[in-house]
Amino acid sequence: MTDPTTTTPDRRPGGRTARIRAEVLAAVRAELAESGHEGLTMEGVATRAGVHRATVYRRWRDVGGLLVDVIEAAGEMDWHPPDTGSLRGDLTELNEEIQESLVERPSFAVALMAASFHSERAARAQSRLWEERYAQCEIVVTRAGDRGELPPGRTDARAVLMSATAPVYHHVVLLRAAPDPRLPERAATAAVAAAAAGAFLVRAGG
């Protein structure tokens, strides 16, 4: 994953290679959260991880390589969307998870977004991760349809998810407003109301 040309023999999960990667990426997350991507250096990461600098340079090459790998590692996490039994419940729980990741201080998620404004590679890796996460979440809308919570016809699952989650990112990350504990549920409720009214139905030819 990090460097397919490496001939290190021990690449099984739990092996030395995996352990070093885990230590280095934990250090990247800690450094990012503490001082942002501007404070991220190969030396700082190696020191914090207790790994030889030469190893870090050989496997990740530069700070951009570390950023891409830490984002890819987030995508490898065994994450599942909520399954509470209602669309409103699922979207509220999803929003609460998102809001929590954005308001914690220091926030690794916000540091990654800041980094992606300055590194094309990090931006692409982050777009891929988000694409994957939204794709994973489509099941939430599919299940709601199966339960009869949506009008007849095909509802655009991605549009429902965007409508529910975007206000949380907007409020916290872009507007930098004080977190509103009721926003996760309110944004979820609004998206459900719009979906129930057919606002996200895919029109023929649309």
Neighbours of 15 (CB within 10 A): 13
24 lies in the binding site for a second copy (CB under 8 A): no
Of the candidate spans 4-12, 55-63, 78-86, 180-188, the one that interacts with a second copy by CB under 8 A turns out to be 180-188
200 lies in the binding site for a second copy (CB under 8 A): yes
108 lies in the binding site for a second copy (CB under 8 A): no
Number of amino acids touching a second copy (CB under 8 A): 41
Do the Cβ atoms of 167 and 183 come closer than 8 Å? Answer: yes
38 lies in the binding site for a second copy (CB under 8 A): yes
Token couple for 31: 């450094």
Helix, strand, coil distribution of the chain in percent, nearest 5? 65, 0, 30
Identified binder of a second copy from the candidate list 127, 152, 154, 157, rule CB under 8 A: 127
Residue-wise burial string across 107-129, b where 16 or more C-beta atoms lie within 10 A, e elsewhere:
bbbbbbbbbbeebebbbebbeeb
In the complex with a second copy, which residue's Cβ is closer, 18 or 190? Answer: 190
Amino acid identity, position 127: S
Q: Which of residues 132-161 bind a second copy (CB under 8 A)?
A: 159
Residue linked to tokens 């250096």 = 41
In the complex with a second copy, which residue's Cβ is closer, 47 or 119? Answer: 119
In the complex with a second copy, which residue's Cβ is closer, 19 or 170? Answer: 170
In the complex with a second copy, which residue's Cβ is closer, 10 or 100? Answer: 100
* Residue 155 three-state SS: strand
Neighbours of 82 (CB within 10 A): 16
**How far is the C-alpha of 60 from the C-alpha of 65, rounded, in Å?**
5
Residues that bind a second copy (CB under 8 A): 36, 38, 113-114, 116-118, 123, 126-127, 130-131, 159, 162-163, 165-167, 169-171, 173-177, 182, 186-187, 189-194, 196-200, 206
